[in-house]
Amino acid sequence: MLLQVGTPVAAGVAKRLAAICEALSEAADAEELARRAVRAAAEVAGARRTELWRREAGQERLEAGWPDETEATPVSPTSGAAEQAVADGPWDEDRGPAGSGGMPPSAQAVPERVDIPLRACGETLGRLVVIEPRRPGPWLELVAAHTAVCLAHLEARQSLRRTVLQMVTAFSELVESRDQYTEAHSLHIAELALQVGLRLGLDPARFDSLIYAALLHDLGKVGVPDAILLKPGALSEAEWETMRRHPSIGRRALERIDLLRDAAEIVEQHHERFDGNGYPHGLAGEAIRIEARIIAVVDAFDAMTTTRPYRPALSRAQALAELRRCAGSQFDPRVVEALLSVVGP
């Protein structure tokens, strides 16, 4: 039962419900949503305990409970603190006439437990378990319904991210399959780039594009002939010119895909140098995106420590010494420092 048209809802309750729904909508992931939902359900229902169970692949698991024991617990005597917490808010004073809006009169027996399925988009995503709710009415159902919609949205977003990552990884493996020397190179640099990004305090919202760009930084090499890409000796100037096109070829391919447009720009900049002597645009310093500066460093480190057709692998110490030597010219010194702190001196 949801709020009926014409139901008198006092301003205090309406305001609090709006704030709760907004907080649920802003949860960054399903875990955070579940934690907020059990707290909100406990508050609006005046419950002793609430739990959110998620259903995935036919299995149920406890995502969050309030109070915040991590395990499902049998009903136990309410702690004073919990009792006080659920009593807070405008709920009791704004209850209105008995029966209006589905509110039980205070004298009515408190149900031992209410199970509310979390349904959205025709699917049951889980359930909200509410133990001894003093107000098992429409406000609780509203919180559950809004939680279900938010959960469906977060699950859809997660599924999309998973699909994009699978697609990007598949493309990355395809690119590397041309060259036995670069097998798993992109995967290594994606892992390292992530660690360096964390060390630099990069905004987590930028991690997805960093990983996509690291995995696909050399996608544009599909436009470089084998005779150049796999040449054991030094490249001629004309061959270098062809080679230098690969960042822009990669950008053009990736920018056609909405979710990869941000990564496309990073890919185009992965051969720019901190001193402005890189390609394709000769960008310098902070005009180069931080993600591209990170990829430049970890790409060079991984390339130097791997055997290539034209040279054997350098030792880790040699590669790190070379990065230190080029800090401030080819590479952003802050990024080199961060890599050193990740892989050791």
Residues of this chain that bind Fe ion (CB under 5 A): 218, 299
Q: How far is the CB of 288 from Fe ion (least distance, A)?
A: 14
Q: How far is the CB of 337 from Fe ion (least distance, A)?
A: 21
Q: What order of strands is seen across the sheet that includes strand 49-56?
A: 59-66, 49-56, 123-131, 113-120
Q: Which residue is nearest to Fe ion (CB)?
A: 299
Show the DSSP H helices in the chain as ranges: 11-25, 30-45, 80-87, 138-176, 185-199, 207-216, 226-229, 237-243, 246-254, 261-268, 290-304, 316-325, 333-343
Rounded distance, CA 123 to CA 50, Å? Answer: 22
Smaller CB distance to Fe ion: residue 43 or 268? Answer: 268
Q: How far is the CB of 271 from Fe ion (least distance, A)?
A: 6
Q: How far is the CB of 246 from Fe ion (least distance, A)?
A: 6
Smaller CB distance to Fe ion: residue 43 or 218? Answer: 218
Q: How far is the CB of 162 from Fe ion (least distance, A)?
A: 25
Q: Are 277 and 326 in contact (CB under 8 A)?
A: no
Q: How far is the CB of 303 from Fe ion (least distance, A)?
A: 6
Smaller CB distance to Fe ion: residue 91 or 301? Answer: 301
Q: 119 φ, ψ to 5°?
A: -115, 135
Structure tokens given for 288 = 């180069």
Start-to-end CA distance of the chain, whole Å, equals 64
Assign residue 344 a region: left if phi > 0, alpha if psi is -120 to 50, beta otherwise? left
Smaller CB distance to Fe ion: residue 110 or 314? Answer: 314
Smaller CB distance to Fe ion: residue 272 or 299? Answer: 299
Q: How many other C-beta atoms lie within 10 A of the C-beta of residue 111?
A: 14
Residue with tokens 């049951």: 124
Rounded distance, CA 215 to CA 212, Å? Answer: 5
Smaller CB distance to Fe ion: residue 133 or 220? Answer: 220
Q: How far is the CB of 217 from Fe ion (least distance, A)?
A: 6
Structure tokens given for 6 = 């014409």
Q: Are 314 and 305 in contact (CB under 8 A)?
A: yes
Q: How far is the CB of 341 from Fe ion (least distance, A)?
A: 22
Please report the sign of the dihedral spanned by the C-alpha atoms of residue 207, residue 210, residue 213, residue 218: negative
